Amino acid sequence: MNEKVFRDPVHNYIHVNNQLIYDLINTKEFQRLRRIKQVPTTAFTFHGAEHNRFSHCLGVYDIARRVTEIFEQKYSDIWNSDESLLTMAAALLHDIGHGAYSHTFERLFATDHEAFSREIITNPETEIYRVLSQVSPDFPEKVASVISHTYPNQQVVQLISSQVDCDRMDYLLRDSYYTAASYGQFDLTRILRVIRPTETGIAFERNGMHAVEDYIVSRFQMYMQVYFHPASRSVEVLLEKILKRAKWLFQQEGYFFEKTAPNLIPFLQDHFTLNDYLALDDGVMNTYFQSWMTAEDKILADLSSRFINRNIFKSVTFNEQSQSQLYRLRDLVQSVGFDPEYYTGIQASFDLPYDIYRPEKENPRTQIEIIQKNQTLAELSTLSPIVKTLTGTSYGDQRFYFPKEMLQLNDLFAANKEIFISYTANDHFTPPKK
Amino acid sequence: MNEKVFRDPVHNYIHVNNQLIYDLINTKEFQRLRRIKQVPTTAFTFHGAEHNRFSHCLGVYDIARRVTEIFEQKYSDIWNSDESLLTMAAALLHDIGHGAYSHTFERLFATDHEAFSREIITNPETEIYRVLSQVSPDFPEKVASVISHTYPNQQVVQLISSQVDCDRMDYLLRDSYYTAASYGQFDLTRILRVIRPTETGIAFERNGMHAVEDYIVSRFQMYMQVYFHPASRSVEVLLEKILKRAKWLFQQEGYFFEKTAPNLIPFLQDHFTLNDYLALDDGVMNTYFQSWMTAEDKILADLSSRFINRNIFKSVTFNEQSQSQLYRLRDLVQSVGFDPEYYTGIQASFDLPYDIYRPEKENPRTQIEIIQKNQTLAELSTLSPIVKTLTGTSYGDQRFYFPKEMLQLNDLFAANKEIFISYTANDHFTPPKK
Amino acid sequence: MNEKVFRDPVHNYIHVNNQLIYDLINTKEFQRLRRIKQVPTTAFTFHGAEHNRFSHCLGVYDIARRVTEIFEQKYSDIWNSDESLLTMAAALLHDIGHGAYSHTFERLFATDHEAFSREIITNPETEIYRVLSQVSPDFPEKVASVISHTYPNQQVVQLISSQVDCDRMDYLLRDSYYTAASYGQFDLTRILRVIRPTETGIAFERNGMHAVEDYIVSRFQMYMQVYFHPASRSVEVLLEKILKRAKWLFQQEGYFFEKTAPNLIPFLQDHFTLNDYLALDDGVMNTYFQSWMTAEDKILADLSSRFINRNIFKSVTFNEQSQSQLYRLRDLVQSVGFDPEYYTGIQASFDLPYDIYRPEKENPRTQIEIIQKNQTLAELSTLSPIVKTLTGTSYGDQRFYFPKEMLQLNDLFAANKEIFISYTANDHFTPPKK
Amino acid sequence: MNEKVFRDPVHNYIHVNNQLIYDLINTKEFQRLRRIKQVPTTAFTFHGAEHNRFSHCLGVYDIARRVTEIFEQKYSDIWNSDESLLTMAAALLHDIGHGAYSHTFERLFATDHEAFSREIITNPETEIYRVLSQVSPDFPEKVASVISHTYPNQQVVQLISSQVDCDRMDYLLRDSYYTAASYGQFDLTRILRVIRPTETGIAFERNGMHAVEDYIVSRFQMYMQVYFHPASRSVEVLLEKILKRAKWLFQQEGYFFEKTAPNLIPFLQDHFTLNDYLALDDGVMNTYFQSWMTAEDKILADLSSRFINRNIFKSVTFNEQSQSQLYRLRDLVQSVGFDPEYYTGIQASFDLPYDIYRPEKENPRTQIEIIQKNQTLAELSTLSPIVKTLTGTSYGDQRFYFPKEMLQLNDLFAANKEIFISYTANDHFTPPKK
C-alpha cells in the first residue's frame, strides 16, 4: 500500500505502511478510542491533557514499527521478521479494551479491560477480529496472547509489556507533552539505537545505559508529580462515590436510571455483553452524570454536580499509625451533615518504579538487562546507583478525602470544623495525642 | 491573593493573580468549557487536537494579562490601568457562549454563540454574573460590551477582537501545538515587545513588523492547511445532515427524540432557554448520535454511524462554471440509492487573511498599524509585500461531498459509478463537455 | 561498518553508515571546518550563532542521506542507487573550500571558495582526495563536478544546489536554531515525504506544496531579519576596511605584517597556494587583528580595536535618488577628522527569494516543480500566491556606514555633527532639498 | 534607559533595563568573552557546543534579573532591593576572568581565573572597573567580594554560587541546548516560582521540591554523559602535553616561541600581567598550536597536529588496584617508540553531585533547604530518596590515555601492541594476574 501518515505531536508523523494496520485503525472498535481519554482524571488538574487513547495507541504502534524495522535490519539473525507484524498489531491493540474511566469503573462493576481486550480481538463479531483473521485464522489468538503475556516469544511480549516497553515509552512522552510536565521527557531516539533482541527477550547496549536510567527516573517523576496528583485522585474518589451511590439507588429507583442512563443498566444489573461495554465512553458517562445533577436523591445529585463543576474534595495524607484514628475525621464529617460513606474516601497510590526479577513474587518483573562490551548481561540497577535507589521500593502516599466545606467556618458547625482543621494542618492528618 | 498557576503546554504557566479571575474560572459556566472542544471536527483529521475551549480561554486571558501588565508599566500615560481587569475578564470570557459543534449547530438551530456569551455574562442567574458584579454593578455589562465590540475604548476592544488580538494569537499557537502543524508558530514574545496602545487603539512598533507579518502568514497557512482540511469539513457536512434529518424526523417521531436526546428537544422545538443551551456539550451530542445509530429511520441511523465510526464522505472541488452542473453528480448519487438531500452536500470555506479598513464594507476591519521611527502610523500592507498579497483577497475552495461508496465498483451500480468517477478525477469536478 | 552517530541539535543524530563518509569527516581538511564559523559576522548580532561549518556540512550530508535512502526505497525505477554515495559525499564537501570570513576575504584578495573546494577535492595532495579516490579514480572529479553543477545527472546537482536543496534546508534550520530567530523553521519531515526524483531533476508532490511554500517564506524572512541585519553588515564593513588598510600598508611596512600576520603574507603578495589558504581560519585572522590593535598605523590600530571590541559603525539606508548626495556625508565624516576611505562604507544586501527559470539570464535558476495529482508538473509560483509575490523581485537595502562618533555631540565638531544628524534622521539618509 | 534585548536560544530574550549592565556588556573585557568557548574540549565530542562564555554570562545575568525582580515584588520584607543591582552585576561578571582552555592552562601555568576575575573587576585600569565605580567607589570591591564568597549577605552569595545558583542553572540549560544532550533540561520556570530569600540565604518552597530534585539529577547526568566524556578529556590530555612540551622546550628554544607564540611568552617566563592574560583567547592559542605543527621538535609538532586535526588519544579506565601496574602500559608505549612522558597521561574526573553542609570539610557546601508548609526548613536529601543517593558520594572515573597507534597492528611493533591490547580489553585496564 501507499504509505499513510498521521500527524502526531509526539512522534511528528505516525507512518503506516501495512494495509492490516490501516484497516485496524479504521474499525469501529479502534475509532471508539477517540472517545476515551488517556488520563481522564488528570485532565482535571492539567487542563492540557485531553488526549485520547486513540493517539496513544497509534504512538505505541509507531514505536513498535521503528523497533521492528531496526530489528529486521540489524538483528535478522536473532529476530524473526514474521514477528514484526504481530508486534505492531499487538502494540496498536494493547489498550483496545479500555473503557470510560477504566480504573474506577472496573473497581465498581468488576469489569476487566484486559479481558475485554482479549474478547474484542478474538470475538468473530468484531471488525477487529475480521481484519486480523485475514492474516491467518490463528492471528487474532496470537495477538491476544501477546497482550496477555502468554505468547511464547518473550522478545515480542517484552516489547509490548515490560519495564521498558513501547507502551510506557509512548505514554510518558505523550502525557508529558499534553500535561506540559517536562519530567516525562527522555531520549527515545537513543533508546531505539541501543535496544536489541536477545535469545530470551530484550536488552539494551551499555552505551545507552544512561538513556534507560533517565527513562526510569522520568517515569518515577511522572508518577510522583502527575499521575499521583492529589487533585486528580480527588476526581477519582468522586467518581467512585457517584457510581457507588448509583448502584445502591438502582435497587430502588430502577426507572430513573433506565431513563437517564440506559447504557449503564447492564452494569448496574451486573449482566453485560461486549456490546454493552463498547457503548460506554467518556462522553456517555459524563452525559449521565449531568442528567443526575437534577436527581431527586440529594446525594447523587450533589456528587454529580461536584464532579461536573469540578468542585472536588480536599485531602490529607495519613500513615500506618494514624490510619486507625481516621474515624475521628469521618465522625466530624458526619457531625456536619455529610454522609461519610459518600463524602469521605481513602485513596492510596503507590508505584514501584523499578524492580529486579523476583521469582518468588506473584507477578515477577522482567528486569532490565544491559549488554556490556564483552556481550555479557548485567541487570540495570547493578550499574546505576540512581536506579538502585528506586529498585524494590514503592513510592506514593495514601490520602483521606473530604468535602472542602469542612475547612469553611462560616456556618453553624464551625466548632466541629475547627477541630477537624486542627487535625489536618499542613495537609497531613495528625490525630490528637490521646 | 496568592498567585495560582495552571500548567499549560503553550504558555508554560497561566498566572492568576487576581481573585476575580480565579473565581470566574471556578464557575460552572466556565468549567463547562472543559467539555467543549476547540476544533471538534479538526480532531477527526489531526488526532492530537482534542484540546478544549477551557484551555484556549485561559491562554487568551494570559496573553491579555501580559499585554496589560506591559501597558501599565510602559504606557501608563496612554493606558488607563482601570481597563486591565476588564480586558483580562473579557479575554477569559470571550468564548463563554460557545457550545457543542457551534458552527454547525448554529446554522441548523439558529442559535448564536455571541448572544449566549452576552446572556451568560449579564444574566443575574449565572455564577459568572455573580462574580463579575462584585467588581461593580455595571461590570458585567462592560465585559459584554467589550466582547460585542461596543465598548467605547478601542484599545480594549482591539485587544480582544481585531486582526491581531489575544484570541487569535492563542488559538494559532494552541491549535498548532495540538495538531502538530508547525505552521501556526510565530514569535509571540516579540509581538508582546512591540505592541502599544495608541490614542485610537492598538499598534505595533516598526522593529517588530516582521513578527506581525509572520503571524499573518502563519494564520493564512493554518487556514489553508488545517482549518480547511477537506476531511474535517466532511465531518461538518455529516453533522449537518444528521441534525437536518433529526429536525425533519422530529415532526413525526417526537417520542423517539424525547427518549434518546432529551436535552435537544428545546432546540428541535425551537424554544430554548440559556439553561437548555448550557446542558449541551460535545459528550452529550455524541451520546445522542450514538443512540441514533440504532434508530429505525435508516438515514438517521446510517449517518450517525458514519459520524461515530468516522466513515466520512469524500469530496471534489468545483468552481463557478461547473457549479450549475453539480446536479449531474447528485443525480448519480441518487441513481445508486442514496437520498442526495442527505448524502450529498456543499461546503465552501473561504478566509480573508487580512484586510485594510474599508469603511464602505458591512463589517470593516480594523487595519494593523505600524508605528514608524518618526512615530507616524503606516498600515501593515504598505510595508510588507507578503501581507500585500494576502490583503483583500479571500482564499479557500468549495467542495461537493458524497459517500465514498460512489468510488467503489463492486456492485450493481458500477456503470453509474464509473460515470461519477469520470467526472471527479483528480479531486476536481469536471462536468462533461456537453 | 558499525553505524556511528554524531549528536546534533538540529537533526538529533547525524547517522554515518558508510566508511567513506566517516573517513572524509576525519580528514584534516574537513576537521578544519571546526575553525570556520557558519555566520561569523551574524554572531556579533545574534550571540548564540557561534556554530561552525563542520556542523552545517554534517547536517547537509544527513539530509542527503535521508533523501537518497527514500529515493532508493521508493523510486528505484528512476533513481540510480549508485548516485547515492556521490550525493552524500558532495553534500558533505560542498563547503569544504570555505575560509575565514569568506565573503569579505574573497572580495579583498580575489580568492574563490568554490575554486578551492574543487582543488581540495581533486588535488592528490589532500587527505580528502586520498579518501575519495579509494572509491574509484574518477570519483574525486565526479564529486567536484556535482559541486560546480556540471555533473550530467541533474537529480544529484539539484539536491546539492537549487532553490530547495539540502544545503539551504540545513542552514535555515541551523541558523534559526543557533540565532534563536524562529523564522527559519519549516517542516523538513514533510518536505522529505514529498520530494521525488523526476526524469530531469527533483520535484515535490502536490500535497506538500504548502511545506515548500513555508520554506520559501522562511528563507525570505531569515534574509530580511537575520542575514541582512544592519549590525552584522557593519562588522563586514569593518572587516573590509581593516583588510584594505592592511593591503595598502603592506607595500610600505612589509616587515610588520611578516611578524604579526605571517599566514596572510601570501595573500598580501597575491601569490598563494592551497596550503596557504588552509592555514587561515577565524582564530588566526582574529589573532592578527588583535596584534594589529597596537600597530603604529593609527587607522589600522583603531579599526582593529573597533572590530575586536565590537565598537561597530552605525548606518542609514539610502536610495537611488540620494546616492549621488552621499558625498555630503563623507565630507562631514572627513571634516570631523576621519578618513572617509576607511571610516565610511556602503553595504548593499539584496536577495531574490525565488525565481522561475529564465533562460535569458546569466545564471538561470532551476524553478521548483510541483507534481500534481495527474502527474503533470506545475511551477510553484503558479500555485502559491505568496510565492508569486516573492518571485523575480529582489528584496533588501543599501546602507551607508559611518563611525558612531558622528552622533555624539560632546566635542569641537558638534556643529558639523549636527548637520550630519539632520541628514540621517530615522535611520535614513535625507539630503538637503537643495 | 530603553530596554535592550539580546536574542538568546536558551532564555528567548535577555532583557537589559539598566544602563550599568548595558555598559558592562560593552566593555572590551566583557566582549573578549565572545572569544572564549564555554566548553572548548567538549566541542570536540559534541560538535554543536561551540557557544562562548559571553552567551553564558548573559544567561546567568538574566536569571539573576528574574530572581531579583521576583524577590523585590514578593519578598521585599526580607530582600533589600539595593542588592538587586549588585546581584545582577556579579552574575554578569562571575566568569570575567576565564581564559582560553582555562582548566588546563591554569594547571600548567599556575594562573587562577578567580584571581583574574577579581583583578579585572577591581583594577582601575579596566573598563569594567570604570563602569562599576560609577555606581559608587566601593561597588567594584563589593562585586568582587560576591564572586569570592566573602560578601556578608549570603542571599546574594548563594544566588551566584551554591548548589542551585544562577550560574549552574544557566550552564546546564545552555550546554544541554548546544550539545543536544537533553539530560540537562529542567524546569527553570518552576524553580523561579519557588525560590525564596530567607534570613540566612536562599531556600525553595516545598511544592517545587521535585523541580529542584530534577535539576540535581540533570546536573549529575550532564557530568556523567557530557562533561566527563572520554573523548573530550582526551583533548584535555593532549592540550596539557602540548603546553608541557612547550614549557620544556622554551628553556632551549626561546626564539622559536617568541616568533610563533608571542603572547604566550610571559607565561612561559612565569612573569605575566593582567593585560598579558587578556591577550590570550581560544583563537590565539589555536593559532599558536597551528604554527607549532611545523616545529622542528618532533614531539611538539606531532602533538600539535593531533590536536588541530583531532587525532586524539584513546583511553582505558583503571582502578585503585591496577593503578600501580600502569607502568606496564607506559613501558609498552615506550617500547613502540613514543615518549610516555608526552604520549601517555592520566585523567581523573570526579564530581560530587550534591552534599549537605559538613562544617568539618575544607569547603563545606551550602546545603539546599526546602521550606515546608509550616515554614520550617528541611534539607533536600531528607525529602528526596533520589537526591539521598547522590549525596556525599563522588561519581566519575580515572582513565589512562595513550596513542591510538597502540591498537594498530600493522607495523614492526605488533607483538608488543598485542600485549598492550590484551591488557586493555573492554576499555578497562586489566594487568596480568602476576
Give one DSSP letter per residue of B157-219, joined into a string.
HHHHSSSS-HHHHHHHHHHHHHH--GGG---HHHHHHHEEE-SSSEEEEGGGHHHHHHHHHHH
Using a CB-CB cut-off of 8 Å, the residues of chain B touching D189 are 12-13
Q: What is the pTM of this model?
A: 0.92
Those of residues 27-46 in A touching chain C at CB distance below 8 A are none
Q: pLDDT higher for B184 or C145?
A: C145
Q: What is the pLDDT along chain C (434 residues), one digit of tens a residue?
A: 788 999 999 999 999 999 999 999 999 999 999 999 999 999 999 999 999 999 999 999 999 999 999 999 999 999 999 999 999 999 999 999 999 999 899 999 999 999 999 999 999 999 999 999 999 999 999 999 999 999 999 999 999 999 999 999 999 999 999 999 988 889 999 999 999 999 999 999 998 898 999 999 999 989 998 999 999 999 999 999 999 999 999 999 999 999 999 999 999 999 999 999 999 999 999 999 999 999 999 999 999 999 999 999 999 999 999 999 999 999 999 999 999 999 999 999 999 999 999 989 888 899 999 998 888 999 999 998 889 888 998 999 999 999 999 999 988 899 999 999 999 988 899 999 86
pLDDT(D272) > 70: yes
> CATH assignment of C237-350+396-427?
1.20.1250.30
Distance CA B291, CA B344 (A): 23
Read off the C-alpha cell for D378: 528541611
Q: In CATH terms, is domain B314-372+397-434 a member of 1.20.1250.30? A: yes
pLDDT(B96) > 90: yes
**ipTM for the predicted complex:** 0.96
Distance CA C56, CA C92 (A): 9
Distance CA C88, CA B87 (A): 56
Distance CA D131, CA D138 (A): 12
For testing contact with chain C, the best of A193, A196, A210, A373 (most C CBs within 10 A): A193
Q: Mind listing the pLDDT tens digit for each residue in B1-13? A: 788 999 999 999 9
From A31, A51, A286, residue closest to B283, measured CB to CB: A286
At residue D434, the pLDDT reads: 67
pLDDT(B289) > 70: yes
Number of Cβ pairs < 8 A linking chain B and chain C = 54
At residue D363, the pLDDT reads: 84
Query: Which residues are within 8 A (CB) of B82 and not within 5 positions of it... i.e. 6 or more apart?
Result: none
> CATH assignment of B4-228?
1.10.3210.10
Q: Mind listing the pLDDT tens digit for each residue in B231-269? A: 999 999 999 999 999 999 999 999 999 999 999 999 999
Distance CA A279, CA A264 (A): 9
For testing contact with chain D, the best of B8, B14, B193, B207 (most D CBs within 10 A): B193
From residue C149, give the alpha-carbon distance in Å to each of B115, C84, C112, C139, C202: 64, 16, 16, 15, 14
A150 touches chain D (CB under 8 A): no
Q: How confident is the model at residue A434 (pLDDT cuts 50, 70, 90)?
A: low
Q: Mind listing the pLDDT tens digit for each residue in A155-193? A: 999 999 999 999 999 999 999 999 999 888 899 999 999
Average confidence (pLDDT) over B193-217? 93
Instruction: List the one residue out of C243, C216, C230, C241 whose CA is nearest residue C370.
Output: C216
Q: How confident is the model at residue B314 (pLDDT cuts 50, 70, 90)?
A: very high
Distance CA B200, CA B197 (A): 8
Report the percentage of chain D scoring pLDDT > 70.
Answer: 100
A337 touches chain B (CB under 8 A): no
Mean of pLDDT over chain A: 95
From C373, C388, C425, residue closest to B426, measured CB to CB: C373
Residue in chain B lying closest to A46 (CA): B7
At residue B411, the pLDDT reads: 87
Residue in chain C lying closest to A2 (CA): C74
**B114-125 b/e (C-beta count within 10 Å ≥ 16 → b):** bebbbbbbbeee
pLDDT(A404) > 80: yes
Q: What is the CA radius of gyration of chain C?
A: 24
Contact A425 D385 (CB under 8 A): no
Average confidence (pLDDT) over D247-251? 97
> How distant is the Cα of C13 from the closest Cα of chain A, in angstroms?
8
In degrees to the nearest 10, what's the CA dihedral of C363, C368, C371, C376? -40
pLDDT(B16) > 90: yes
The CATH architecture to which D230-350+396-427 belongs is: Up-down Bundle (1.20)
At residue B434, the pLDDT reads: 66
From C185, C374, C393, residue closest to B182, measured CB to CB: C185
At residue C434, the pLDDT reads: 67
Residue D239 CB-half CA count within 13 A: 24
Q: In CATH terms, is domain A229-312 a member of 1.10.3720.10? A: no
Residue A60 contacts residue A175 (beta carbons within 8 Å): no
pLDDT(D163) > 90: yes
At residue A417, the pLDDT reads: 96
Average confidence (pLDDT) over B64-71? 97
Read off the C-alpha cell for D370: 526546602
Amino acid symbol at C422: S
Residue A298 contacts residue A305 (beta carbons within 8 Å): no
> How distant is the Cα of C373 from the closest Cα of chain A, in angstroms?
14
Distance CA B248, CA B253 (A): 9
For testing contact with chain B, the best of A31, A309, A311, A312 (most B CBs within 10 A): A309
**Domain boundary assignment for chain D:** 4-228, 230-350+396-427
Instruction: List the one residue out of D409, D238, D365 whose CA is nearest residue D309.
Output: D238
Query: Which residues are within 8 A (CB) of B225 and not within 5 positions of it... i.e. 6 or more apart?
Result: B181, B183, C210
At residue C232, the pLDDT reads: 97
Using a CB-CB cut-off of 8 Å, the residues of chain A touching B309 are 28, 31
Residue C297 contacts residue C248 (beta carbons within 8 Å): no
Q: In CATH terms, is domain A313-434 a member of 3.60.20.10? A: no
Three-state SS letters, chain A: CCCEEEEECCCEEEEECCHHHHHHHCCHHHHHHHHCECCCCHHHCCCCCCCEHHHHHHHHHHHHHHHHHHHHHHCCCCCCCCHHHHHHHHHHHCCCCCCCCHHHHHHHHCCCHHHHHHHHHHCCCCHHHHHHCCCCCCHHHHHHHHHCCCCCCHHHHHHHCCCCCHHHHHHHHHHHHHHCCHHHCCCHHHHHHHEEECCCCEEEEHHHHHHHHHHHHHHHHHHHHHHCCHHHHHHHHHHHHHHHHHHHHHCCCHHHHHHHCHHHHHHHCCCCCHHHHHCCCHHHHHHHHHHHCCCCCHHHHHHHHHHHCCCCCEEEEECHHHHCCHHHHHHHHHHCCCCHHHHCEEEEEEECCECCCCCCCCCCCCCCEEECCCCCEEEHHHCCHHHHHHECCCEEEEEEEECHHHHCCCCCCHHHHHHHHHHCHHHECCCCCC
Contact D8 C54 (CB under 8 A): no
From B5, B13, B189, residue closest to D13, measured CB to CB: B189
D1 touches chain B (CB under 8 A): no
Report the neighbours of A using a cutoff of 3 or more CB pairs below 8 angstroms: B, C, D
Distance CA C39, CA A147 (A): 53
At residue B183, the pLDDT reads: 83
The CATH architecture to which A4-210 belongs is: Orthogonal Bundle (1.10)
Residue A57 contacts residue A92 (beta carbons within 8 Å): yes
Q: How confident is the model at residue A312 (pLDDT cuts 50, 70, 90)?
A: very high
Using a CB-CB cut-off of 8 Å, the residues of chain D touching C54 are 47
Q: What is the CA radius of gyration of chain A?
A: 24
pLDDT(B157) > 90: yes
Average confidence (pLDDT) over D269-284? 96
Contact B389 C393 (CB under 8 A): no
